[in-house]
Amino acid sequence: MEKQRCLESGSRDIFIGGVDGDFEEPLISHLAELRDRSIAIILVMFLFICVFYPFSELILQQMWHKFFPDVIGMTVYSPLEWIFLRIRLSFLMAVIFVFPLVFYEGFRFAARGLYPNERRFCISIVPVSFIFFLLGAGLAFLFMVPMIFDNVVLYSGMIADDQISVAKAISVVITLILGSGLIFQIPVLMFFATKMNIVECRSLRKMRILVYSSILAFAFSLSPDLTFIAQFVCALLIVILFEIGLLVSR
C-alpha cells in the first residue's frame, strides 16, 4: 500500500498506511545514526580487546601446545611480532563476543521500517546466527586446524627441522576460525534473504553452478594445506551448508 503523508513536524514526515512509527528523514540523519551505531560497536570492540589482551599470552601458549608437538618451540622473527600477535588474538576473541551486538545495532537501525512480524523474525534469527557462528568456529578449532597442521608438520619434519613462526601459524588459525564461522552463516543468510523476499529460492537453485565454482575457488584460497585434504573438506562443508540453506528456504 502506498504510504500517504499525514503530518509534517520539523524535518520529519509522519506516514500512515505503512509501518507504525515510521517517518521520513533526510539522508544525512540516517548516515549520522549509522555512524553513531558503528562508533558504539568499535568502542565495545576496543573494550573487549583491552580485557582479553592480558590473557592472550596464556591462550597462545595453550593453542601452541594443542596444535604442535612439544619438540617444536615458538619462534618470532621481529621484536614487535609477539605483541602484534597478542593484539590479533585479542581482536579475534572480541569479534566472537561482539558478534551479537553487530546484529543488534543493525536491527535497531532498520527496525523502524519493519513490520511487527519482520521485527520478531529478525530478533529470533540473531541467536541462531550466533550459534551457527560458534559451531563453525568450533569445528575449525577442533578438527580443521589440527588436520592442516598435522599434515604440514608431518611432511616437513621428514626432511628439515621444524622452526615455525608463531605469528604465521596463529594467523592461519585465526583465518580458519573466522572464515569457518562466517561460512556457517550461509544457511542463515539464505533463509533471511528468502524470508524477507530479497531473493527467491528458485533463483538460488539456478545459481548452483556459479556458487559451487566460487566455493571451490574460496576453499583453495582459504586453506594452506598442500595435500588438498583441508580444501576438499572446506568445499564439501560449504556445499552442504548451501544445500541446507536451500532446504530451509523452501
What are 176-221's pLDDT values in tens digits?
888 888 888 888 888 878 877 777 777 777 777 777 777 777 666 6
Considering only the C-alpha atoms of the chain, give the largest distance between any 2 of them, rounded to a whole number of Å: 79
84-123 pLDDT, tens digit per residue, is 889 988 998 898 888 878 878 887 777 777 777 777 777 7
- Over 60: is that where the pLDDT of 9 sits? no
Confidence of residue 239 (pLDDT cuts 50, 70, 90): confident
Give the residue with greater pLDDT, 156 vs 35: 35
In the DSSP assignment, the letter for residue 112 is G
Question: Which pLDDT belongs to residue 175?
Answer: 81
Contact status, residue 124 vs residue 197, Cβ threshold 8 Å: no
With cut-offs at 50, 70 and 90, classify the pLDDT of residue 144: confident
Q: Is residue 7 helix, strand or coil?
A: strand
Q: Which residue has the higher pLDDT, 29 or 93?
A: 93
- Cβ density class 144-163: b for 16+ within 10 Å, e for less: bbebbbebbbeeeeeeeeee
Average pLDDT across the chain, whole number: 76
Region 17-43: what's the mean pLDDT?
Answer: 76
What are the phi and psi torsion angles at 70 (to 5°)? Answer: -65, -20
Asked if 67 contacts 146 with a C-beta cutoff of 8 angstroms, the reply is yes
pLDDT of res. 225: 54
Residue recorded with cell 515510521: 22
Q: What is the pTM of this model?
A: 0.69
